[in-house]
Amino acid sequence: MEAALSLVVAILFSVAIYMLLSKHIIRMLLGTVLLGNGVNLLIFTAGRVPAITPPIIPDGADHLEAVTANPLPQALILTAIVISFSFFAFLLVLAYRAYQDLGTDDSDEMRVAEPEEQGLPPLGY
């Protein structure tokens, strides 16, 4: 089970990096989402996948008697899902606003600060 999830994590990372290297902003945003999901799945895989008893100490005992699940990776993943969704929503609004102002989705054509017709900036000071 863990080997299959590790393979899925590798596929998510490779597709995310491929999409992040694109020239189009929407593909970059989808690559960011895939990268976040890959990291979440990596944390989940590292935190033991098989079903283990919950970390509850029974009455009258002062320590856990069996191997228990680690709740920290699950809490980290829940927090990361909320943060990545809000980050994606912010980036989506930012990309839409840039598309409205510049009229393009191509990052090579978004050269407001350094237009191509002006040439290179000064190389020596």
Cα 112 from Cα 67, distance rounded (Å): 58
Give the Å distances, CA to CA, from 101 to 28, 88, 95: 19, 20, 10
**C-alpha torsion sign, points 4, 10, 16, 22:** negative
Q: Which domains does the chain have, with CATH numbers?
A: 2-51+69-109 (1.10.287)
- Could you tell me where the DSSP H helices lie in the chain? 2-20, 25-46, 71-102
Q: Are 104 and 110 in contact (CB under 8 A)?
A: yes
Exposed (0-12), middle (13-18) or buried (19+): which is 71, by Cβ within 10 Å?
A: exposed
pLDDT for the residue numbered 49: 63
For the entire predicted model, the pTM comes to 0.76
Each residue's pLDDT expressed in tens, for the chain with a length of 125 residues: 788 989 999 999 999 999 999 999 999 999 999 999 999 999 888 877 666 667 777 788 887 777 777 778 888 899 999 999 999 999 999 999 999 988 888 888 887 767 777 777 777 76
Q: Scanning the structure block, which residue is given the tokens 């900036």? A: 121
Count of Cβ atoms closer than 10 Å to residue 98 Cβ: 16
* Contact of 29 with 88, CB cutoff 8 Å: yes
**Under a CB-based contact definition with an 8 Å cutoff, are residues 91 and 32 in contact?**
yes
